[in-house]
Amino acid sequence: MEAVYLLGSITSTIVTSSLLSLSLAVRSLLSRALASPSPDLGSSEPSTNGGCGDGDVPAVRLYEGRVRHERRHPVSHAFEYPVRYALIDLDRAPPHLRLSHLSADRAREVAATNGPV
């Protein structure tokens, strides 16, 4: 019976994740099509302005990697999976990423800080 619950949970998670991913992709494409091009989304190459200023690092950076977890006690078990991260400088976010719930001011409020986010 537990196997049925596990399969149901896995199926539900896959379906939900797929639908949310498709929804996000469609929203992103629509907002990108309606927004003007943003210079912040250029290549990750450093700028040629002598290494100073905000042009050195893009506002959106993407990272890929692998996470490995290993447990040795009470029973040895290990697994590894790929991960992708998007690091967004909310102070310099492109217009199509500036949502009401994803703003630099809201992040500062939640984190109780006044520094860069």
> What per-residue confidence (pLDDT) applies to 79?
95
Question: Does the pTM exceed 0.85?
Answer: no
The total of other beta-carbon atoms located within 10 Å of residue 29's CB is 11
- List the chain domain ranges: 1-37
Does residue 89 contact residue 59 with C-beta atoms inside 8 Å?
A: yes
On the question of pLDDT at 42 being above 50, the answer is no
107: left (phi over 0), alpha (psi -120 to 50) or beta: alpha
On the question of pLDDT at 41 being above 60, the answer is no
> What per-residue confidence (pLDDT) applies to 89?
86
